[in-house]
Structure 1
Amino acid sequence: MKNPIRKCLAAASLLLAMGAQAEEKPNIVLMVQDNLGWGEVGCYGGGILRGAETPRIDGLASEGMKLLNFNVEAQCVPSRSALMTGRHPIRSGTHSVVWGMLYGMTQWEETMAETLSEQGYTTAMYGKWHLGDTPGRFPTDQGFDEWYGIPNTTDEATYTEGFEYDPEVASPSVVMESKRGETPKTVMTYTREVRGEMDNVLTDKTIEFMERNANKDKPFFAYVPYTLPHVPGMPSEEFEGKTGNGRWADMLSNMDYNVGRVLDSIDDLGIRDNTIVIWLSENGPEEIWPHAGTAGPWRGTYFTPYEGGLRTPCLIRWPGKIEAGSVSNEIVHITDFYPTLAKIAGGDVPQDRIIDGVDQIAHFSGESADSAREGFPIYNGARFYGYKWRNWKVLTLTNETMGDNIMTPGMPRLYHIPTDPKEQYDLVKFGGRDGGERAYWVLPVIFKKIVAHKASLAAEPPIKMGTPDPYVPASN
């Protein structure tokens, strides 16, 4: 159930938006890769070193801002929830990837798509949702005018070929489509063969949507959560064997090609100057061989609290507003895109709940050299792992891999990231003049922030995972 007062205000905003000129509100194209590590593409030190050049993604970096310290959540579901709501997933009951139970965002949550829709945007999503697969929790229930893609995740494409697979107890994954107000319908079974061509199809759909909406009197928002390189990371038939460096490199080349196709379409439609393009990864690299990726100089993969699990590539282009070739090493979090895009669109985030994201437009535009945030809490699932602040990180829980045991150190671990990018030297443990004793002052500073974060969870109790709709907070 949505806030009725907010809906009345939204209706008034929509009337104002409809009377404005389309060029006053930029189009937004948000492309998201699934489990692409920091060190995979050329502009982040990968590319040819990973077996395939990535000229189109690298070119995008030269045309806008490259974020070196963009941070996400440790798992797929929470990252996507954080992106859509601007809230830490621990608040929304979307903190973990789960099976066999009701999951996803309650209808009470306000999404980026809903806010942009209220500001007069035509909205569409093409790709992986992973924020609910039951009536009321599909993309077209949460602010999107149309959707084509998969409700859950890509490893489900392997189910039908699984050892002793039984369709009577494990329904095959499907590709779905829907429009706002309609019940999503199944298009086809999501098999491994379909998986290989999926991102090409998502690109086709995105281009067709932009062609339909580029010259209308209202702006558009295209959310394109691609399925690559999530396991099984495989290229389309057209790219199989293309690089000569194996399937992973073929897939990387395929990925770059599709990003280029979207960028070319924007140019062909003559809307480059009035279109914000954001390209990012929502998780750290895969660790499952032979689909494993790399986080470049950082330690860890997804499902870990290290920089490799939190820090991913992110590029932003907005001609005339964001300086071409600019680079930032300031901390930006995935929750920040919701309030930032809402502000650009002339809207605002909900005022009746805690929003963790912050408006970063001053930093992106170069008006401020500093990010609007200094840090954020670290979670893996429902477990609180620590806090990243400026150049420092405190961890109270650790695990080395997705399947590793979760360890509780006797004392919190403290790392200084610029001098220790692999997070190998715990400064609480390694004392001495040039070690821990020069860093001890950081512990009380960060723990004050941890206490404040946990107090916010007491002030606004989190939604429990599996909470059905309709949901209304007790305080309301």
Structure 2
Amino acid sequence: MNKLITFSSALFTTTAINAQSPNIIFILADDLGYGDISAFNPESKISTPNIDNLTQDGITFTDAHSSSALSTPSRYSILTGRYPWRTKLKEGVLDGYSPAMITPDRRTIAQMLSENGYNTACIGKWHLGWDWGYPQNAQNKKDVDFSLPIKNGPTERGFDYFYGIPSSLDIAPYVYVENNKVTALPNHIIEPQKGLKLMHGGVAGADFDPQDCLPNIIRHSISYISKQKNSKKPFFLYLPITAPHTPVLPANKYKGKTTIGDYGDFVVMIDDMIQQIIKALQKNGQLDNTIVIFTSDNGCAPYVGVKEMEKQGHFPSYIYRGYKTDIYEGGHRIPLIVSWKGKFSNETNNSLVSLTDFYATFAQMVNHKLKDEEAVDSYSIWPILSKQGASNRKDLVYESGKGYLSLRTPQLKLVFNGGSGGWGYPNKPADLAQLPPMQLFNLKEDPSEKENIIHDKCYEQEVKEMTQLIRKYVKEGRSTPGAEVANDTENDWKQVNIFMQ
């Protein structure tokens, strides 16, 4: 077996791992459902052979979760190894003009890897805010002077290079930013559109074409990868693509590739983009020393026509209940493949995994000792990847779009809210008034969350213990062993009152 996998912990020094560290490409799809990938859903109406091929040299994680059922908080957790509800953002997402969510004192996975010998890049959708430049007479946050450099953006949060967009593809301003400067000043307005081609409307850069956004991100990614082939340093490429989030814009060559319309065709386009990345690695002789991670920030969005797709036999959440924003599994259970050619071989792992875990995972890989306030909710899965054991994660917390929390163990899921906590049913006050204030599901027996067993006395002790545990996680500012640290706010916001009082 390859010595990267089997060398002893005694040799697992920073010097040793830096001398032969694998490259890392972290591909994050946007609003892609668990059931949209044919490797995860045998009944999928979308064929994704290139993503499926990653499983041949990979580990397929079947019980992996984003920390939130929404974009911004999910991304925050990936980069910081910290649950997003510890920040001032208690629900919802940022927009394209929002200030930086990651505070200057909060370490990121990019900073950690950079300090351990990596070149680091982020190419794609940021959606974590930064500070635009403003003229002295600015009246509101949209009065940006786009000729001024941004501050507190990706290159000030650990990335050596950035190319991408501020927010989601449907949210203004529609500009590309390279490092800390806009690549072309706005010279036109994109008008609002509805439906699958949803655009909220606003100013757009002279070089910005929504239809070309995904291919452009891939072109820049391939260029970056190719520039690294002769480098003596490994690279970390965080690649948050803009699809299949609205606007749903499959290129003409992909239209009609599925029977379920533009959304399915857009996923096929993503699949082809993944093939282009892999081909570039092969061409450059980099594939054997590159870990490729493919996943999604949250579940499929309900407004992309899921009801019609379900009628045609395609279920973007597979057997799971709910969609994007919902506390139910469909909101945050996501496809996760970790591929490393020559190291893994078509393995399936059912461990409980959070996307917050990659910070601690790569820290262990490079023998970086985490500081007290670093990656406070991140459990390493390096023992799984290195075939030396299992993750120490025994439970995890995830958040709905409206900021309500759930605590999950391998068997049970306790929801500290009576409804979906998002856009799905039940979410209206009149409906919630008729329901218990909390929900409990036995996911081993009821993975589709059809029966709320909160009143089953057989589980009284488990409910009590789980409630005490999440209270502890909030109070201590962490869910991993270590010194108590502070959340960014007091511990009494509305979504946690049900278990903190």
TM-score (norm 2): 0.78
In the aligned structure 2, how far is the partner of 1:280 from the partner of 1:49?
17
CA 1:388–1:329: 2 relative to 1, 3 Å:
same
**Cα 1:24–1:121, aligned 2, differ >3 Å: closer, same or farther?**
same
SS at match of 1:65: strand
Map 1:377-396 to 2 at 5 A.
377-380=397-400, 383-396=403-416
Counterpart check, 1:112 vs 2:90 = no
One-letter amino acid matched to 2:25: V
CA contact (8 A) 2:126 2:240 kept: yes
1:415 positional shift: 0.6
Q: Give the AA of the match of 2:487.
A: P
Q: What SS does the aligned partner of 1:249 have?
A: helix
Q: Call closer, same or farther: CA 1:460–1:382 in 2, change over 3 Å.
A: farther
Deviations 1:313-357 (Å, cap 9, x if unpaired)?
A: 000012344x31110111001110011112223434333456110
2:42 equivalent to 1:42: no
Q: Distance in 2 between matches of 1:291 and 1:227?
A: 19
* 1:247 corresponds to 2:262: yes
CA contact (8 A) 1:196 1:237 kept: no
1:290: which partner in 2?
A: 305
1:251–1:411 CA distance, 2 compared to 1 (3 A): closer
Aligned with 1:460 (options 485, 490, 499) = 485
CA contact (8 A) 1:197 1:235 kept: no
Do the aligned residues in 2 keep the contact of 1:37 with 1:308 (CA within 8 Å)? yes
Matches within 5 A, 1:426-465: 426-429=452-455, 436-457=456-477, 460-464=485-489
Aligned to 1:177: 177
Alpha-carbon distance change, 245 to 422 in structure 1, aligned in 2, over 3 angstroms? closer
In the aligned structure 2, how far is the partner of 1:81 from the partner of 1:372? Answer: 22
Q: 1:60 aligns with which of 54, 58, 70?
A: 54
CA distance in 2, matches of 1:31, 1:268: 19
Residue of structure 2 equivalent to 1:227: 242
User: Aligned AA for 1:93?
Assistant: K
Who is 1:405 aligned against?
A: 428
The AA in structure 2 aligned to 1:28 is I
Alignment counterpart, residue 87 of structure 2, candidates 70, 92, 98 = 92
- Which residue does 1:4 correspond to in 2? none
**Following the alignment from structure 1 to structure 2, what is the Cα–Cα distance between the partners of residues 78 and 244?**
33
Moved more, 58-67 or 311-320: 311-320
Identity in percent: 26
Unpaired runs of 5+ residues, structure 2, are 1-12, 132-149, 191-198, 200-207, 308-314, 479-483, 491-501
CA distance 1:199–1:183, shift in 2 (3 Å) = closer
Give 2:24's aligned amino acid.
I
C-alpha distance in structure 2 between counterparts of 1:362 and 1:21, whole Å:
15
Q: Secondary structure at the match of 1:155?
A: coil
2:69 & 2:214 partners in 1: Cα distance?
Answer: 23
Is 2:304 aligned against 1:308? no
CA distance, structure 2, for counterparts of residue 283 and residue 53 of structure 1: 20
Read off the aligned partner of 1:315 and give its amino acid letter.
I
Kindly tell me: are residues 381 and 21 of structure 1, through their superposed partners in 2, closer, same or farther at Cα, counting changes over 3 Å? closer
CA distance in 2, matches of 1:300, 1:38: 11
Question: Is the 2:107–2:374 contact (alpha carbons within 8 Å) kept by the matching residues of 1?
Answer: no
Q: What is the alpha-carbon root mean square deviation over aligned residues? A: 2.7
Q: What SS is found at the alignment partner of 1:402?
A: coil
Moved more, 280-289 or 409-418: 409-418
Q: CA deviation at 1:36?
A: 0.6
Q: Distance in 2 between matches of 1:242 and 1:388?
A: 38
The alpha-carbon deviation at position 124 of structure 1 amounts to 1.2
Question: Contact conserved, 1:35 with 1:282, CA < 8 A, in 2?
Answer: yes
In 2, Cα distance between equivalents of 1:246 and 1:353:
44
Deviations 1:15-35 (A, max 9, x none): x97x77865111111100001
1:197 aligns with 2:212: yes
Q: 1:78 aligns with which of 69, 73, 80?
A: 73
Amino acid at match of 2:458: R
Distance in 2 between residues matched to 1:207 and 1:299, nearest whole Å: 37
Residue matched to 1:344: 365
Contact 2:255 2:262 in 1 (8 A): yes
Residue by residue, what CA displacement relative to the aligned partner does 1:34-53 show, whole Å, maximum 9, x if unpaired? 0111100110115x732x31
Distance, in Å, in 2 between the alignment partners of 1:352 and 1:385 is: 22
Q: 1:241 offset after TM fit, Å?
A: 3.4
